[in-house]
Structure 1
Amino acid sequence: MAHDDIDIRKVITKTEILWREGGRPLEDRTRIAVAAAVLRNPWAGQGFVEDLAPKIHEIAPVLGQILTDVLVEQMDGAPIEAYGKAATVGLSGELEHASALIHTLRFGNILRDRVGGSSFLPFTNRRASADTVTSIPMVHIKDSGIRSHYLTAELHVSDAPRDDELLVAIAGASAGRPFARIGDRYQDMAILGVDQRKRP
C-alpha cells in the first residue's frame, strides 16, 4: 500500500531537548520527540461499522512505518529508551476508532522492533475537539517497571482533529527523567515482600 493511499492531511513533529532540571545542568541532554499524523477517519460517514479489521489491516502498518521513520529522524541519532503511543478521534467518531489503529501489533510492532523494545507501548485514546492536548505516556522500552522512564509527552494541534479526523501519535525519549530518584516498582515489591514472579 502506498503512502498516498492513506488520507493524511499533515504530519506534525515536536522535539524537546532538556538542558537543566532542578537547577542542575544535565551532562547528557535528554531528547524527547513526538511524531503524529492527522488523517481522515476511515470510518467517518459510514454509520456504525461492525467490522473494523479491514481498514485496520490496511492502514495501521503503513501509518506505523511513516510515524516510526519520522520519530527516528527527529531523534537525530539519539537512542530511544522510552516510548509510547496515543490517538485522538474527532467528535464525529467513536472512541473505538481512536483505539483501532494503535491497538494492533501491526502498528506498535514497527516501533518496538525498530528500537529493539519488548515492553508494551503505553497509550491514551480519547475523543476530543480540535485544539486540545494529546498526552502520550511512555515507559522503558525493555522493562515497564523502571520508574525513571515514566514520562509523558504532550502535543497540541490547533486545528486537529477535525470532527471527521484522527490524530495518531508516537513518542520517544533518549533517557528517563533527569536525576530520577524514586526507585522502581521492584524495590517496592521487595520491601513489601511481594512475590515478583506472581506480580511481574
Structure 2
Amino acid sequence: MPAEIRKTLLYVEDTLIEGGKVAETPLKLIAAMAVIRNPWADEGFVEDLGPAIRDCAPGLGELLTRMILDAAGGGDRVEAYGKSAIVGLNGEIEHGSALIHTLHFGNHYRKAVGAKSYLSFCNTRGPANAPLLIPLMDKHDGGRRSHYLTIQTSVADAPAADEILIALGASIGGRPHHRIGDRYQDIKELGHDVDNPAAV
C-alpha cells in the first residue's frame, strides 16, 4: 500500500546578506517534506522491511522530487542536494533509513537533477517539532566545499509517535562569501595524490 501521507510542506529560504555583506549571488535553500504514517507502526519488530519499502519509497521519492523541481525551476538549477528522515518516538531509526536509503526513493531525485555524487543524509528519531537537518553537498563534486550546507527547520506537529517525516533538500548556489577552498587543495598540501587521497 502506498505511503499514507498526512501532509506535505515546502520550505524556501533566501539568504541575501551574510556576515554583514550583501551576497553577490543569493543562496536559495529548498526543502520538500512529507509527514507519513509509519508503515511499520503497531507491528512490533518486523524482520523484512522490503515489502513496505517497495510500496512507499517510490511514490515518496517521486512526490518530493517534483516539489523540489517546481520550487527550483527545474533540475538543472539544483546545485547541491540531500535527504533526511525523522522517525517518531514509537518507531525505529531503521524505519526512516529503510525509506530514504534505497534506490527506490533516491534515484528519482538523482536522475531528475542529473547528479553524479551520492545523496548526503541524516536520519534521527524525535518528537514533534524536532529539528530537521538536511545536509547538502554538490550534486557532481563531493569535494566542492562551497556547497557543504545544511538546511535546518522543523514541523510543529510532526512527527507524531507513529509517523515519519521524510524530506529532500536542495540549494541553488553555495555559501555566500565562501573562502575555505575545496578539499583538493588540502590533499595537495598534505602531499597526497588527488586521485588517491587515502595513499600516504
TM-score of Structure 1 vs Structure 2, range by shorter chain = over 0.9
Shift of 1:199: 2.8
Whole-angstrom CA distance in 2 between matches of 1:79 and 1:11: 22
Of 174, 192, 199, the residue aligned with 1:194 is 192
* Structure 1 segment 46-125 matched on structure 2, within 5 A: 46-76=43-73, 79-125=77-123
Amino acid at match of 2:34: A
Whole-angstrom CA distance in 2 between matches of 1:11 and 1:196: 42
Report the equivalent of 1:139: 137
Report the equivalent of 1:25: 22
Shift of 1:6: 2.1
Whole-angstrom CA distance in 2 between matches of 1:62 and 1:199: 38
Residue identity over aligned pairs, in percent, reads: 49
2:77 aligned counterpart, secondary structure: coil
Shift of 1:131: 1.4
Bigger shift: residues 78-87 or 157-166: 78-87
Whole-angstrom CA distance in 2 between matches of 1:190 and 1:164: 49
Whole-angstrom CA distance in 2 between matches of 1:16 and 1:101: 26
Whole-angstrom CA distance in 1 between matches of 2:197 and 2:131: 33
2:153 aligned counterpart, secondary structure: strand
- Provide the aligned length of Structure 1 versus Structure 2: 197
1:64 aligned counterpart, secondary structure: helix
Report the equivalent of 1:152: 150
Once superposed, what is the RMSD of the aligned Cα atoms? Answer: 1.4
Note if contact 2:38-2:163 (Cα within 8 Å) is conserved in structure 1: yes
1:101 aligned counterpart, secondary structure: helix
1:163 aligned counterpart, secondary structure: coil
Bigger shift: residues 53-62 or 42-51: 53-62
Bigger shift: residues 156-165 or 16-25: 16-25
> TM-score, structure 2 length as denominator?
0.94
Unaligned 5+ segments in structure 1 are none
Note if contact 1:32-1:75 (Cα within 8 Å) is conserved in structure 2: no
Report the equivalent of 1:12: 9
Unaligned 5+ segments in structure 2 are none
Shift of 1:172: 0.3
Shift of 1:20: 1.3
Amino acid at match of 1:13: L
Shift of 1:195: 1.9
Shift of 1:72: 1.3
Shift of 1:87: 0.3
